[in-house]
Amino acid sequence: MVANKKLIALLMALTMLTANISFAEETFQKKQYKLPDDIVETAYMSNIVYINDTFYVLVDMKEIYSLKKGEEVFSFYAKDTNDIGVDYSKQISNLYTDGEKLYAFCSQSGDFFEVNEKDGEVVRNNLVKFNLENHTETYEDGSGKERSYSRVPNDSVLYNGKLYAIYQNMNNFGTSLSSFDIATGEETTYSVTNIKALAPYKDGKLILVTQDEEKLYNSDKPEEGIAKLLLFDPAADTAEEIGPMLADDGEPKYFYGSMFYDENRDAVLYFTDNGLMLRHEDASAEKCAHFPSSFLSGNSSGYTVLPGNYIALIIQNTVYVESTDPSSMPKKSLVVYNGYSSNHDYVAKQMLDTQITMYEGGWFSSAQELGQALVSGTNNIDVFALSGNYMDTNSIINKGYALDLSAAKGVSEFVDSLYPYIKDACVKDGKIYALPVYLYHHTYSQNDMLLEELNISSPKTFGDVCDILSAWYSDDERAAENNLTEDPNVKYFMWDMLFNLYANHVYLSGEEMRFDTSVFRSMADKLIKALENVPDISDSEMQYDEEYYQKPTLFGMQSLDLYQMSNEAESRRRIELLKNHPAFAEDESYKSRDSYAYPFNPMVLKATETSPEGFSAELTLVFVNSKTHDPENALKYIENFIHGYQDETKISLCKDYAEPKLNQYYEKGMESQKAHIDALKKEIEEAEGAEKTELEKDLARAEVGYQLDLEGLGKYQYTQEGIEEYKSYINNVYISTYDNSLFSRQEQILTLRQRLIEGQMDLDSFIKEADSKLKLIKLENQ
Amino acid sequence: MTDGSVDNNFVGIQNYQKVWENEVFRLGLRNSLELSLICAPLIFVLSFVLALMLRSLGRASLPFRNILLMPYLVPTAALLIVWMLIFDYGGPINRILALFGVDRVLWLESEYLRVPVVLLYVWKNVGFSIVIFSAALESVPDELYEFARLEGASAYKMATKITLPLILPTAFLVFVLAWVNAFKIFKEVYFIGGAYPNESVYTLQHFMNNKFSKLDYQDVTTAAYSFAVIVLVLFGVLYAQKGVRGHD
């Protein structure tokens, strides 16, 4: 019996010990957690805290979602239903925890409270109002009404019963540190300045990073502007310097991002673009975590530190739980040059077993520099993206610096789906060496509504535009109230148009690249004559004429815009309604609205009546370095790359892709407008006199806008009709390359153009000198 | 003798054939030779005459020598900025021409670019040659000039019959230095005219630089080797002249 009791006691002790061990370790694993499917695309996740085995995240600044241990997807926790329809001062800006309770802070109203939940709504318990007087400014809104605004802290942490916040100084560089007692709301300010980051340490003290940016950038001694690590005692308002925050490699660096203190390792960890660094005592650092895509945590709200060397952080509406143990970082790596694109972000999230980082060796300004780097092997670039406009990408392919991508899964099929002129840029001798990243169409644009209002026919050729220019200044009133071109320097705009349209003519006609042709001479003669009536404007007048940009404009250089084309009819209807509706009788703000004021409609011009139709497009291509250290993984990058295109990009790249897209924010926008209207109505009930009258006008305008949106304006991001119109323009496109854009990019030609435009050179001299250069370039390449 | 690709395939003398058949390579080579044959004799003659003049001033020549040497010490980029302002369309040279009723000239963009390039090169480099000549002139005994004056020799006769023969090795050095340096005229033209200046000043270095920027390293090295051989041959021919090697 005694032995049995002893055995039972031993077993119980063992059980408790085991339980204690597993509780203490609380193991996490690398995992991703998302919001529910119905909101994941449109929601904005901004804050995360971890309390008692549960994650809480702030969504759209008014809803809280939670994820308990063992769950896979976040679920709705509570919604904040306080009055935030018109006045957003009560909107939650941050969530905090002291390890036991969940707190929230409204940075505008100063409300700080314990968050509880009842019937799916946030209950604000133990609310304390912080005194934000020192951080509040007043200003006049558009209607002349005085409003106040409280600055949002750069960063804030809840520690030891106080909310510590870094505030930006408005009048100069630098920041200041304040704390607010969460029991009384009382503010304490501290003497320490230029704080970049803060984190709890122990015994009530804080770790701070300070950096004097003024000294770093604007003084003769930038070394005095290095980032420093300090141990700060709020009780005594004293700071003790620990050392430089970053290792000194001879050049003071700007510190950005957030940091925190890890008591177990007695070390500071700080964020870089795509990882976490563990700082050693001598300020050197080693990478201890890798994050997919570029992630820069500007403040503490986007992540939360977890037990057992883990961290949870928000990256584009997904919570990533990552280990901060250096040994658990991905073993494989790829370095990408100039890889900023949605495709790259997509790949980074798919290839979590690989550290995909951006090349940090600087920018290559020419193919020469890049080629040298690739040839010499002094860099470690695996994948690089280049624009054909600025780099001779053909030589990259011809010299064998680009890896053959044909073996990558799905790439052949994808390349076959591209427009032929794009495919040609990617393929050589039947092999695929590049993929498109994005395309930018070099088109001109016009303001259809303004053309109709001014009774001007839509131009089809360069000559038509010159005719419009010739007559434009004969009507002083028209010229005073409207702009002919979006560039105040009409002369430069027109000459630039001439050269671009002539380049299109030459390339699409298959003619030799030269200026001594009847087409160029006639275009130039026509323009010179048309410019006789254009007033000369000095540079300073152009630069400081703010009113210029507030007037409706006839011609511009906007690229093809799918959204505009899809919503053109609805936008017109809106403008017509606004022009005639009594609610907008005193409001001419519609004149500065996009569709009315700016030239957004496509204008595809030809050099002459008989010139071929079409225009150039700038194409950025992605390549894999043929000398990559990991070809297999680099090809995997490419396989994932082709799945990361945004829908709009696919429409411009793929000949048969034509899927319309609903505006995913439409419903949210409507809800927000409805809430705004309801809030206005409530305000009107309480208002009197002139204020009431103004509010009633606001309400009338808001209701008109709401009705228009209810009828469909903005419902589609782009429609089928819009896509069809868009695609009708992009069949006659040629890719602008280093060689065929000499008219508009070659430096010496540009210098001659400048001389011609400024009258220092006559047309014959220009043609002679420019053609001589073009001949040199052509012969040199033979 | 490879094709310059990542695989570096052997192609024999194809690169040399391709480069020598290129009209623009020949233009660059021709311009380089022409510019050197204009600049080198100019520097030679000018520096020799100025060195003789300075010698005649004795101790008082020091400040003048320093002034003449100053352009050599100033960075070329700084000089070029000044030169570009002087020869700009609205610069002082054109204004002076306009005063005399002459049309303004596009010095920096037309075939006249040779003029400012040559003037700049000569102005910058003549000082160094003067210093070398001055040192060599110190070794010529004064008695020889005294005897020649007594015999009624003119300054020109003294310079060509006495001075020059005695300092021929140094003169050869000055000429070779001026000539080789003139071959390297590039940065001045590139700064003003870019990668593709007017044809009249498009040099071999432009060809090589542009090929380099297009990653055509084979053409660059082919052109460089070709040029080196030409310079060595020309130098060798000159050096073969007994008088140049010095007196026994």
Contact in structure between A614 and A732 (CB atoms under 8 Å): yes
Chain A partners of B110 at a C-beta cutoff of 8 Å?
765, 769
Query: Contacts for B129-132 with beta carbons within 8 Å, 24 or more apart?
Result: B129/B43, B129/B44, B129/B46, B129/B47, B129/B51, B129/B174, B129/B177, B129/B178, B130/B47, B130/B50, B130/B51, B130/B54, B130/B65, B130/B68, B130/B69, B131/B65, B131/B69, B132/B47, B132/B170, B132/B173, B132/B174, B132/B177
Residue B1 lies in a domain: no
Return the percentage of chain B with pLDDT > 70, whole number.
95
Residue B4 lies in a domain: no
The reply to whether A575 and A681 lie within a common domain is no
**For residue A115, with 0-12 CB atoms within 10 Å meaning exposed, 13-18 middle and 19 or more buried, which class applies?**
buried
Residue (of A509, A705, A699) closest to A614 by Cα position: A509
Contact in structure between A136 and A149 (CB atoms under 8 Å): yes
Give A578 or A567, the one with higher predicted confidence: A567
What is the mean predicted confidence (pLDDT) over A230-236? 96
**How many CB atoms are closer than 10 A to CB A582?**
8
Give residue A542's pLDDT: 57
Give residue A144's pLDDT: 66
Q: What is the CATH number of the domain that holds A474?
A: 3.40.190
Distance from CA of A323 to the nearest CA of B (A): 41
Question: Best interface-test mutation with B: which of A369, A376, A399 has the largest number of B CBs within 10 A?
Answer: A399
Residue B155 lies in a domain: yes
Chain B contacts in chain A segment 397-426 (CB below 8 A) = 398-401
Chain A partners of B201 at a C-beta cutoff of 8 Å?
none
Name the residue of chain B whose CA is nearest to A403's CA. B6
Give A674 or B1, the one with higher predicted confidence: A674
Q: Which two tokens stand for residue B84?
A: 């570009």
The reply to whether A708 and A735 lie within a common domain is no
Q: What is the pLDDT of residues A612-625, one digit of tens each?
A: 999 999 999 999 99
Residues 6 or more apart whose CB falls under 8 angstroms from that of B24 comprise: A776, A779, A780, B202, B207
pLDDT band at A23 (very low <50, low <70, confident <90, very high): very low
**How many CB atoms are closer than 10 A to CB A286?**
10
The reply to whether A673 and A751 lie within a common domain is no
**How many CB atoms are closer than 10 A to CB B85?**
12
The reply to whether A725 and A607 lie within a common domain is yes
The reply to whether A485 and A592 lie within a common domain is yes
Q: Given B7, B109, B215, which is nearest A367 (Cβ)?
A: B215
Q: Is the pLDDT of residue B248 over 50?
A: no
Give residue A21's pLDDT: 42
Distance from CA of B41 to the nearest CA of A (A): 29
Give A537 or A353, the one with higher predicted confidence: A353
Chain B partners of A399 at a C-beta cutoff of 8 Å?
4-6, 215
Q: What is the CATH number of the domain that holds B29?
A: 1.10.3720.10
Q: What is the pLDDT of residues A651-684, one digit of tens each?
A: 999 999 999 988 888 888 888 888 888 888 988 9
Q: Given A395, A746, A765, which is nearest B215 (Cβ)?
A: A395
The reply to whether A563 and A680 lie within a common domain is no
Residue with tokens 């060796």: A361
First to last CA, chain A: 103
Q: Nearest-5° angle of CA A215, CA A221, CA A223?
A: 80
Q: How far, in Å, CA of A748 to CA of A767, rounded? A: 13
Cβ contact, residue pair B4, A399, below 8 Å = yes
Q: How far, in Å, CA of A51 to CA of A69, rounded? A: 11
Chain B partners of A780 at a C-beta cutoff of 8 Å?
22, 24, 207, 210-211
Residue A178 lies in a domain: no
Q: How far, in Å, CA of B236 to CA of B239, rounded? A: 5
B210 touches chain A (CB under 8 A): yes
Q: What is the pLDDT of residues A52-100, one digit of tens each?
A: 899 999 998 889 999 998 899 999 999 988 655 555 778 899 999 999 9
Rounded alpha-carbon distances, angstroms, from residue B4 to A382, B13, B210: 21, 13, 16
Count CB pairs under 8 A between chains A and B: 75
Distance of CA A289 to the CA centre of its chain: 24
Q: What is the pLDDT of residues A359-416, one digit of tens each?
A: 877 777 766 677 777 767 677 899 999 888 777 788 788 888 899 999 999 999 999 9
What is the mean predicted confidence (pLDDT) over A127-151? 82
- Name the domain count of chain B: 1
Residue A375 lies in a domain: no
A782 touches chain B (CB under 8 A): yes
Residue A671 lies in a domain: yes
Q: How far, in Å, CA of A670 to CA of B7, rounded? A: 61
Helices and strands per DSSP (H, E), number in chain A = 24, 40
Give A483 or A89, the one with higher predicted confidence: A483
Q: How far, in Å, CA of A731 to CA of A746, rounded? A: 27
Q: What is the dihedral of CA A553, A559, A562, A564, to 10 degrees?
A: -10
Cβ contact, residue pair B23, A761, below 8 Å = no
- Give the lowest-confidence range in A440-454, A567-581, B125-139: A567-581
Q: Given A368, A760, A772, which is nearest B215 (Cβ)?
A: A368
Q: Is the pLDDT of residue A299 over 60?
A: yes
- Give the lowest-confidence range in A174-178, A606-610, B101-105: B101-105
The reply to whether A458 and A573 lie within a common domain is yes
Cβ contact, residue pair B197, A748, below 8 Å = yes
The reply to whether A693 and A733 lie within a common domain is no
Q: Is the pLDDT of residue A137 over 90?
A: no
Residue A500 lies in a domain: yes
Q: Whole-prediction pTM value?
A: 0.82
Question: Best interface-test mutation with B: which of A745, A766, A776 has the largest number of B CBs within 10 A?
Answer: A776
Q: How far, in Å, CA of A88 to CA of A147, rounded? A: 12
ipTM at complex level: 0.81
The reply to whether A686 and A568 lie within a common domain is no
Where in the sequence is the domain holding A545, given as residue range(s)? Answer: 444-616+720-777
Contact in structure between A147 and A140 (CB atoms under 8 Å): yes
Distance from CA of B83 to the nearest CA of A (A): 17
The residue out of A89, A108, A127 marking a domain boundary is: A127
Residue B244 lies in a domain: no
Distance from CA of A388 to the nearest CA of B (A): 13
E strand or H helix at A756, and its extent?
helix A747-757
pLDDT band at A305 (very low <50, low <70, confident <90, very high): very high
A3 touches chain B (CB under 8 A): no
The reply to whether A507 and A571 lie within a common domain is yes
Residue A349 lies in a domain: no
B216 touches chain A (CB under 8 A): yes
Which runs of consecutive H residues, i.e. helices, occur in chain B?
A: 14-21, 23-57, 62-73, 76-86, 92-99, 114-137, 142-150, 155-158, 164-166, 168-183, 187-193, 204-213, 217-239, 242-245
E strand or H helix at A567, and its extent?
helix A562-580
A503 touches chain B (CB under 8 A): no
**Sheet with A310-315: strands ordered across:** A31-34, A318-323, A310-315, A303-306
Contact in structure between B40 and B175 (CB atoms under 8 Å): yes
- A490-509 vs A747-757: helix crossing angle, rounded to 10: 130
Q: What is the pLDDT of residues A251-266, one digit of tens each?
A: 788 888 899 999 999 9
Residue A69 lies in a domain: yes
Residue (of A734, A759, A755, A766) closest to A500 by Cα position: A734
- A562-580 vs A720-729: helix crossing angle, rounded to 10: 120
Distance from CA of A776 to the nearest CA of B (A): 7
Q: How far, in Å, CA of A44 to CA of A47, rounded? A: 10
Name the residue of chain B whose CA is nearest to A777's CA. B196
Q: Is the pLDDT of residue A17 over 60?
A: no
Q: What is the pLDDT of residues A414-424, one digit of tens each?
A: 999 999 999 99
Q: What is the CA radius of gyration of chain B?
A: 22
Q: Which two tokens stand for residue A598?
A: 């700016």
- Give the lowest-confidence range in A45-59, A339-353, A535-549, A553-567: A535-549
Question: Best interface-test mutation with A: which of B2, B3, B5, B6 has the largest number of A CBs within 10 A?
Answer: B6
Residue B7 lies in a domain: no
The reply to whether A585 and A456 lie within a common domain is yes
Chain A partners of B212 at a C-beta cutoff of 8 Å?
368
E strand or H helix at A527, and its extent?
helix A518-530
pLDDT band at B6 (very low <50, low <70, confident <90, very high): low
Residue A239 lies in a domain: no
Residue B3 lies in a domain: no
B212 touches chain A (CB under 8 A): yes
Name the residue of chain A whose CA is nearest to B104's CA. A760
B17 touches chain A (CB under 8 A): no
Strands of A245-369 (E only): list them: 259-262, 267-272, 275-279, 285-290, 303-306, 310-315, 318-323, 332-337, 354-358
- Name the domain count of chain A: 3
Residue with tokens 């070390």: A267
Query: Contacts for B158-164 with beta carbons within 8 Å, 24 or more apart?
Result: B159/B48, B159/B52, B163/B52, B163/B137, B164/B48
Residue with tokens 């970082």: A329
Give A594 or A241, the one with higher predicted confidence: A241
Residue B192 lies in a domain: yes
A392 touches chain B (CB under 8 A): yes
Contact in structure between A410 and A374 (CB atoms under 8 Å): no
Give residue A84's pLDDT: 57
Residue A346 lies in a domain: no
B13 touches chain A (CB under 8 A): no
Rounded alpha-carbon distances, angstroms, from residue A441 to A216, A264, A735, A747: 40, 55, 9, 22
| Residues pairing with A148 in the sheet | A138
Where in the sequence is the domain holding B137, given as residue range(s)? Answer: 14-239
Chain A partners of B22 at a C-beta cutoff of 8 Å?
779-780, 782
What mean pLDDT value characterizes chain A? Answer: 87
Cβ contact, residue pair A760, B106, below 8 Å = yes
Q: What is the pLDDT of residues B188-203, one digit of tens each?
A: 888 888 888 888 999 9
Using the 8-state DSSP alphabet, how is residue A400 labeled?
T
pLDDT band at A146 (very low <50, low <70, confident <90, very high): confident
Q: How far, in Å, CA of A345 to CA of A349, rounded? A: 6
Give residue A689's pLDDT: 87
Q: Which two tokens stand for residue A494?
A: 């027109």
Q: What is the CA radius of gyration of chain A?
A: 31
Residue with tokens 């920096």: B108
Residues 6 or more apart whose CB falls under 8 angstroms from that of B35 comprise: B114, B117, B118, B121, B182, B183, B185, B201, B203
Give residue A629's pLDDT: 92
Name the residue of chain A whose CA is nearest to B195's CA. A748
Give residue A206's pLDDT: 96
Cβ contact, residue pair B202, A776, below 8 Å = yes
Residue B6 lies in a domain: no
B103 touches chain A (CB under 8 A): no
Q: Given B6, B22, B196, which is nearest A777 (Cβ)?
A: B196
Give residue A3's pLDDT: 58
Phi, psi of A341 (to 5 degrees): -165, 165
Cβ contact, residue pair A769, B89, below 8 Å = no
Rounded alpha-carbon distances, angstroms, from residue A640 to A32, A102, A333: 19, 39, 15
Rounded alpha-carbon distances, angstroms, from residue B143 to A220, A435, B134, B153: 61, 82, 18, 13
A428 touches chain B (CB under 8 A): no
Cβ contact, residue pair B24, A776, below 8 Å = yes
Cβ contact, residue pair B106, A765, below 8 Å = yes
Give B231 or A501, the one with higher predicted confidence: A501
Q: Which two tokens stand for residue A349?
A: 């999230």
Q: What SS3 class is residue B37?
A: helix
The reply to whether A686 and A730 lie within a common domain is no
Q: Given B197, B213, B216, which is nearest A366 (Cβ)?
A: B213
